[in-house]
Amino acid sequence: MTMPVKPSEQEEEYFARQEFERRKQVLAEQERKVAEEERLRVLAVARNRCPKCGAPLVPVPYRGVELDKCSRCQGLWLDFGELDQVLTEEKGFLSGLKRIFG
């Protein structure tokens, strides 16, 4: 009958490091999932709300672009790229804004 061989210190250290790295990766993945869930929760709450006062935003069509107007403070909010779309047709831009706020 053979006796089991006790692992050397280097082997124990190697396996301890492997286990540490595995646990570190699992923890990082869990933290990433929690952060993503929190980001989605915040987006769901803040979506279609005025960044200034928190009131609901009302969509306002303007030159083929849907702008967001606050129902309380009357602020006008544009999503990414919407200002560029509106400014491509420079003619009558200010009069168009007067029509929205008029």
Which two three-digit tokens encode residue 38? 């929190």
The pair of structure tokens assigned to 11 is 């082997």
Strands 65-70 and 57-62: antiparallel
Quick: pLDDT tens for 12-66.
Answer: 999 999 999 999 999 999 999 999 998 888 777 767 888 888 888 888 888 788 8
Q: Domain coordinates of the chain in residue numbers? A: 8-47, 57-101
Whether the full predicted model's pTM is greater than 0.75, yes or no, is no
23: number of Cβ within 10 Å: 10
Alpha-carbon span 18 to 45, nearest angstrom: 41
